[in-house]
Chains A and B, each alone.
Chain A
Amino acid sequence: MEFFHSVPRFRFMAQRRTCYIVSALLVVGSLGAEAFHGLNLAVDFTGGVVVEAAYSGPADLDRTREALRSAGYGDVAVQSFGSSRDVLVRLPPLGASESAGTVTQKISTALKTIDAGVQIRRTEVVGPQVGKELVVKGVTAMAVTVLLILVYIAFRFRWKFGVGAVLATLHDPFVVVGVFAITGMTFDLSVLAAVLAVIGYSINETVVVFDRVRELFPIMRKSAPIEVFDRAINETLSRTVITKLATLIVVVALYGFGGEALKGFGLALIVGILAVTYSSMYVASGVALDLGSSHRDLMPAERRAPVDDLP
């Protein structure tokens, strides 16, 4: 079976300016969503208390809230989680007077007044300072990753390609985070890991296209750089589509069947893969092209020596 029987001839690079605008809108939109809608950060980052409990029958959220209020926890978020029997209780960070142990104890006692058979499946108590550090660490990790990749690409290709790759790469996590801001899904540690994986994946994609560009430049010496880039994208298009489908298959399985704990991780990767596909084709190549990548940038060094000087 084959989707592309011959190499297609789409003119990707002709649309790159439009794509810059689209990308800029995506990034601005994502930032806007984060600013106005806010990101639903998990306790991992904000600090606080989370209790996951399973009732023996369908959960009554209002009664749960009521029970917690009479236990002294007015400022509490209660939502259903996964099945109709499971609830997730979330509290802001603890005051200095309360210890992690007593809070979880009090919550479970409160829930038992509704249903004696309630099962506490998970409790998490995170201090606010731990969360703050995680945010700093996460941002640092992203910055270091991007920087190292820029260095690697600049070393393996040319700096113009490095800049293109990094811009495309930076673009993808914005899109992912933006989707989490809009949908209001919880952004937790595993989603952060997924975002970092998307960064790696994005580079992976860009490199495949650039590798083809590098290969084509010496062969297509007479052609304009834009044609080289177009042909490189077209020649790798079949592989791009198949690989994306293959990865999407497993990631969708994670999203759909991995349970509540892997849902966010799965969604981040689904969005990430779609963003990566787009950005590796348009943004990375477009930027490398607009920075003036030409034959000279990628020709082997010895061929660049002036041959005409010889008698």
Chain B
Amino acid sequence: MNRYPPWKSLLFAGVMLLALVLALPNVFGEAPALQLSRKDGEPFTGDSAVQTFRELLAAQQLTPDAAFVQDGRVVLRFADVPGQLKARDLIDASAPGSYAIATTFASRAPAWARLIGLKPMSLGLDLRGGIYLVYEVDVEGAVKQTLQRLERDYRLALREKRIQYDSVEGGSGAVVVNLKDGARLEDARSALAAVDSNVTLEVTGGGSGPATVRATLSAVQVKQRQDFAIQQNITALSNRVNALGVSEASVQRQGANRIAVQLPGVQDASEVIRLLGKTATLEFRLVDQSGNALEALQTGHPPLGTKLYQDRRGQPVLLKREVIVTGEQLTDATSAFQQGEPAVSVRLDARGGDEMLRTTRENLGKPMAVVFIERERQLRDQGGQKVAVDVTREDVISVATIRGVFSNQFVITGLTPREGQELAKLLRAGALAAPVFIVEQRLIGPSLGQDNIDKGVRALAIGSVALFLFMAVYYSAFGLVANLVLVCNVVLLTACLSLFGAALTLPGIAGIVLTVGMAVDANILIYERIREELRNKNSPHASIKAGFEKAFSAIADANVTTLIAGVVLFLFGTGPIKGFAVVLSVGILTTLFTALMGSRTIISLIWGRRVSITRLPV
């Protein structure tokens, strides 16, 4: 008798059942779809939004196959591309400019699968087509900007204190101040230190002759400036990518100074690059309290000296025409807690600080607003032709009351923690932008993507069928068991990848094929052992038991070493290589599980209960 502990068999059956359910959505494939998000960033909620679009389309005899809200976006799935495109034009015409409409693909999986959170593997760029961009942030340029700003501020500070200088020069990592009169060296030093106390100041000369102060940024400051530059660009890029409304788009930091942007399904590279390349800025302005914003909105004529804006909720706000400070003068903005309350702490350069000091002194207790200005390109319908138009979006992102006199450092309070983080992000995005340039650009056309899928799947199918035949011929009935275990392995692997939300890439498919090829090794190790045991005249049951036990250490050691290679690949790889590494590593784990537990369960189920077997079909 050869009984496998029932709990192990049950565990295997349970895992496989779960895996089947998880892997199921991958079977249904995808259909053309539209993904709608609101341009003001507010999420869609509830069925009413969906109902609105359904009715809009129904008026033109257009019925989506499915319509639902997912992650704050409305997804409308259609049977074919013409339907999808017709719906896009209809929705765009119904409310021009208020929705970001992305043409995309949605899973055909039934609604219940979606409701319990089951998702198919998403397809990587090389399979779906799309654009992959890697931006490099010029961190050295960012540091140079800081030095230039320091140079300006130093001139201002020295002039204010009436200290004469020969020159204030920035360059090669430092700002050098040459003083005419060494006697005022100490005054100069303290004036410069007041601009930014974190900067290291080195003094040479003095007395009656000329003197020099050399200002250098500390390593921490350089690092901070670089991180700021990268974060700022990530925020800016994310904002614009979100505005594109592309589904499954991603913006990720890569390495020390790079940002990778993935835009699946997007094809017009130059247009996208233009769009993403736009820079944002900020304006601090006083709120005009004398006029009536609602009235101005209705009449379309704001009072003299004011300008009408909208805040992020669409409420009208009247602001004074004079700009106090712009984004170029903002050096840092971080969200923090002050006295237990969420706050955003803002730093300006010296020039901005002076302006702010004057303004706050005169306007204590009055509200001040921050306007976020972003230029974007929109496609407008003009006489049946799509024309790109530059549109400037100006949003009031914060209105706060001036509660004290301040200059270059202040905090904005009265926010929820989320609002605080959002505001700090936007402020940083609007600060003087660090230069970026594209170091990598890949564009994969949709036909190539489909080709890659077809060929990858074909290779997988042909390879698997040939392998199945080989195993069945060589190991007869046990070979069929190995094949069944292989199928279990692929199902489990698919389930795991779907569960992790991993994107399937072409190297990923190659990884699956390789896993299939290597997974049989575990079964072969076991079967060869069983044959050996049988040759040594052991009973069939004892041979099965010994075969599994003796093969275990070889299987474990062999797979751990391959796993090491997989993990290293994951750590060092980027993009598609990472995808391959994930599949390879997860594949090894599923192989261990299915080959050891699965094979044993199935073999025990078939041959374990038979008391008198003389031969094994191995």
Contacts and interface: CB of A to CB of B under 8 A. Distances in A.
Interface of A: 1-2, 6, 52, 54, 99-102, 104-105, 119-127, 129-130, 133-134, 137-138, 140-141, 144-145, 148-149, 152-153, 156, 189-190, 192-193, 196-197, 199-201, 203-205, 207-208, 211-212, 215, 235-236, 238-239, 242-243, 245-254, 256-259, 261-262, 265, 269
Given A121-B448, A249-B517, A257-B462, 19 more contacts: A2-B474, A104-B441, A121-B444, A122-B448, A123-B269, A125-B442, A127-B136, A134-B574, A144-B571, A148-B564, A197-B565, A203-B564, A243-B521, A250-B467, A250-B516, A256-B462, A257-B455, A257-B463, A262-B510
A152 to B, nearest CB: 6
B354 to A, nearest CB: 38
5 contacts: A190-B507, A207-B557, A211-B557, A256-B459, A257-B458
B415 to A, nearest CB: 39
A52 B448 contact: yes
A205 to B, nearest CB: 8
A62 to B, nearest CB: 25
Contacts of B520: 243, 246-247
Contact of A153 (B440, B466, B561, B576): B561
A204 B134 CA distance: 36
B562 A122 contact: no
Given A189-B577, A253-B459, A104 B443 contact: yes
B439 interface: yes
A145 B558 contact: no
B521 A122 contact: no
A105 B569 contact: no
A120 B518 contact: no
Interface in B502-533: 506-507, 510, 513-514, 516-518, 520-521, 524-525, 528, 531-532
Contacts of A242: 474, 524, 528
B265 interface: no
B85 to A, nearest CB: 20
A129 to B, nearest CB: 7
Contacts of B75: none
B273 interface: yes
Contacts of A122: 442-445, 448
Nearest to B520: A246
Given A1-B474, A125-B440, A249-B517, A101 B270 contact: yes
Of A125, A242, A246, A256, which is in contact with the most chain B CB atoms at under 10 Å from its CB? A246
Interface string B471-502: 10111100000000000000000000000000
Interface string B265-294: 000011001100000000000000000000
A92 B536 CA distance: 65
Contacts of A137: 572-574
B170 interface: no
Given A211-B554, A249-B467, A200 B562 contact: yes
A105 B269 CA distance: 9
Nearest to A138: B572
Given A145-B568, A204-B562, A251-B517, A100 B447 contact: no
A61 B577 CA distance: 32
B105 to A, nearest CB: 19
Contacts of B563: 200
Interface in B442-457: 442-445, 447-448, 451-452, 455-456
Given A149-B565, A208-B554, A250-B464, A259 B456 contact: yes
B470 interface: yes
B535 interface: yes
Given A141-B568, A149-B565, A197-B565, A247 B459 contact: no
B465 to A, nearest CB: 9
A66 to B, nearest CB: 24
B104 interface: no
Given A127-B439, A254-B510, A259-B451, A145 B136 contact: no
Given A145-B568, A250-B516, A190 B440 contact: no
Contacts of A258: 455-456, 458-459, 510, 513
A110 to B, nearest CB: 15
A200 B455 contact: no
Nearest to A210: B557
A185 to B, nearest CB: 16
Interface of B: 126, 134, 136, 255, 269-270, 273-274, 438-445, 447-448, 451-452, 455-456, 458-460, 462-464, 466-467, 470-471, 473-476, 506-507, 510, 513-514, 516-518, 520-521, 524-525, 528, 531-532, 535, 550, 553-554, 557-566, 568-569, 571-577, 580-581, 584
Nearest to B585: A200
B561 A200 contact: yes
B102 to A, nearest CB: 21
Contacts of A156: 557
Contacts of A52: 448
A270 to B, nearest CB: 11
B438 A100 contact: yes
B535 A6 contact: yes
A203 B562 contact: yes
A144 B568 contact: yes
A308 B569 CA distance: 51
Given A211-B554, A246-B517, A190 B510 contact: yes
A152 B528 CA distance: 26
A37 B535 CA distance: 52
Contacts of A190: 506-507, 510, 576-577, 580
B165 to A, nearest CB: 36
A235 B568 contact: no
Given A144-B572, A152-B564, A242-B474, A211 B553 contact: yes
Contacts of A101: 269-270, 273-274, 441
A249 B558 contact: no
A190 B464 CA distance: 21
A207 B439 contact: no
Given A145-B564, A246-B524, A208 B558 contact: yes
Contact of A105 (B126, B270, B559): B270
Contact of A196 (B126, B441, B532, B568): B568
B532 A201 contact: no
A109 B451 CA distance: 24
B441 A246 contact: no
Q: Which of B255, B467, B565 has its CB near the most chain A CB atoms (within 10 A)?
A: B565
A141 B459 contact: no
A152 B561 contact: yes
Contacts of A152: 560-561, 564
B562 A123 contact: no
Contacts of B463: 249-254, 257
Contact of A193 (B269, B452, B569): B569
Nearest to B462: A253
Contacts of B455: 257-259, 261-262
B565 A259 contact: no
A253 B568 CA distance: 27
A104 B568 contact: no
B439 A262 contact: no
A-B pairs with lowest CB-CB distance, top 7? A200-B565, A253-B463, A259-B455, A250-B463, A127-B439, A250-B517, A141-B572
Contacts of B576: 189-190, 193
Given A201-B518, A207-B557, A259-B452, A239 B569 contact: no
B557 to A, nearest CB: 4
B440 A127 contact: yes
A16 to B, nearest CB: 22
A39 to B, nearest CB: 18
A102 B553 CA distance: 58
Contacts of B134: 130
